[in-house]
Amino acid sequence: MLLKLIFGLGAVVLLTVAGALFSAVDRAPLIDRHAEISPANIEEAKRILDKNDPRNLSPGAVRTIAVKANEVDLAANYLADRFARGSAQVWLGKNAARVQASWRLPLAAVPAFVNFETSVPAGRGLPQMSYLKVGAVRLPGWAANKLLHYGLSEYFGAAEVQTINTAIRRVAIAENELRLTYRWQPQLADTLRNALLPPGEQERLRPYQEYLVSITRLPRTDNIPLTDLLVPLFSLARRRSAKGDPVAENRAAILSATLYVNGRDLSAIIPEAKAWPQPKYKTVIVNKRDDFSKHFMVSAALAAFAGTPLADAVGVYKEIADSQGGSGFSFNDIAADRAGARFGEQASTDAKSAVRLQQRVAAGITELYIMPITEDLPEFMPEALFKRRYGGIGEPAYNRMMADIEERVNKLPLYR
């Protein structure tokens, strides 16, 4: 009799869970949008970051970040696409934001989506949901917030979550703008760094740093071809991936190479790295130019860690800025950006793509594998000349030139 009761209760629980899961899955997405970022978005983000540079903040300083409604929406959709292969949309209203998102189940035999909806009121500290609707299942706010807090604590660490929660003094929401007021404390720098690059990922960089030391201390001229860094670093990534995560290893290889190529010490993002062995810095070149290697690796890192659309937008934004008083708009720099972004994308899309890139790079590549011919591409154009020749961003002549660059990148042996 007792066994029958136990089995009966078990069956009820299983049926209840199965019913809840079934109710949470839909056949169509609630939100279905492409993730897009423009150079203007990059300019606004840079303005916000410059205003809130930690190096210029004293302990206890109070700052407010104001973000327009369309930028909040764009950022949410981009993050959903990048980290969950989904879509999201945010509407700001009086004292509250409404959020909807959709995530396609990756292993479902037929199209199946988990749709989310919630409302986030203005307040203090990290966001608190009024409710959370998952498909047809609706959770009350207290339950949804417990799940959110648990997830954040597991991913970032409970201490880090508490530090950020304490720092946020106020989140004000209006129909056209979200304003976040925070109080700066020195420990926030470590908290944010650990959130963006967890301690395990920081330690993953050490073997690549040590390998760079051995590569760069070999007798050679002052210039190093970029491929002379990538081949050994990705050979190391391939070996370490045998018992690890190939995407994570590729990202570590790319970040190490990016910092080195740009003459930046790893201790800039990991203070503990000051005690690690240090490589001998030399000029890294591709197509006989060191600026191309910088463009290539920065775009590769952006694509590997944040996605190709962001990498592409940053590249175009930099060229616009250069045309307005720097070295001028250069399509060959754009070609280096696009080639690097494709490299970073191939390195990080999924495990299969990551391993394939490791194998091809480790087997040996030359510059012709990763960088298109650029000698015939226009460069050093001031803004007036650029607009006279190409009309500006998005105009037909500009689009034709960009299409030509994309075709050149597509034909590179590494991406065929």
Please state, in angstroms and rounded to a whole number, the distance separating the CA atoms of residues 101 and 91: 12
Amino acid residing at 229 = L
Flag whether pLDDT at 28 surpasses 60: yes
SS3 call for 102: strand
Percent of the chain with pLDDT over 90: 52
User: pLDDT band at residue 23, thresholds of 50, 70 and 90?
Assistant: low
Amino acid residing at 197 = L
Please state, in angstroms and rounded to a whole number, the distance separating the CA atoms of residues 142 and 161: 18
Flag whether pLDDT at 175 surpasses 50: yes
pLDDT value of residue 5:
40
CA distance from start to end of the chain: 66
pLDDT value of residue 7:
40
Residues in a beta bridge with 138: 133
Q: Render pLDDT for 362-383 as a digit per residue (tens, 0 to 9).
A: 999 999 999 999 999 999 999 8
User: pLDDT band at residue 35, thresholds of 50, 70 and 90?
Assistant: confident
Residues in a beta bridge with 102: 87, 115
Mean pLDDT of 69-85: 86
How much is the mean pLDDT over the chain?
A: 86
Q: Which residue has the higher pLDDT, 9 or 339?
A: 339
Mean pLDDT of 113-119: 93
pLDDT value of residue 139:
93
Please state, in angstroms and rounded to a whole number, the distance separating the CA atoms of residues 259 and 247: 18
Distances in Å between the Cα of 218 and the Cα atoms of 221, 228, 280 are 10, 11, 9
pTM recorded for the entire structure: 0.82
Amino acid residing at 139 = L
Mean pLDDT of 311-320: 77
Contact residues for 213 (Cβ-Cβ < 8 A; gap 6+) = 277, 278, 279, 280
Q: Are strands 137-140 and 86-93 parallel, antiparallel or unpaired?
A: unpaired
Please state, in angstroms and rounded to a whole number, the distance separating the CA atoms of residues 219 and 222: 9
Flag whether pLDDT at 45 surpasses 90: no
pLDDT value of residue 108:
62
Q: Which residue has the higher pLDDT, 277 or 403?
A: 403
pLDDT value of residue 49:
79
Q: Render pLDDT for 217-259 as a digit per residue (tens, 0 to 9).
A: 877 667 899 999 999 999 999 999 998 899 999 999 999 999 9
